[in-house]
Amino acid sequence: MSQVCQITGKKKMVGNNVSHSRRRTKRVFKPNLLTKRFFLEDENRWITLKVSAAGMRVINKKGLRAALEEARAKGFIDTI
């Protein structure tokens, strides 16, 4: 799970580089991932997650606990 966001499930995508003459060669679009520590207040401990920028926005909007439970239900993470 090296290139996968643990909150949103974003991962690498494959597409094409298109030159001026419209030749197409394969390329990879990587997600904007960061390794970030978050503090769980109810358990009084730090957790480290690999999250995308969009994943951090989800955490800010919904809260850490709700985002973790939703990601766990979707199968992006197995333990909290």
Predicted confidence (pLDDT) per residue in 26-76, tens digit: 999 999 999 999 999 999 999 999 999 999 999 999 999 999 999 999 999
In a domain, 79, yes or no: no
In a domain, 67, yes or no: yes
Q: What is the reported pLDDT for 78?
A: 85
Is the distance from CB of 4 to CB of 54 less than 8 angstroms? no
Q: How many domains does the chain have?
A: 1
Q: What is the reported pLDDT for 57?
A: 97
Q: Containing domain of residue 61, as a range?
A: 13-74
Rounded Cα distance between 56 and 42, Å, is 19
Q: What is the reported pLDDT for 2?
A: 83
In a domain, 2, yes or no: no
pTM of the model: 0.85
CATH number of the domain enclosing 42: 2.30.170.40
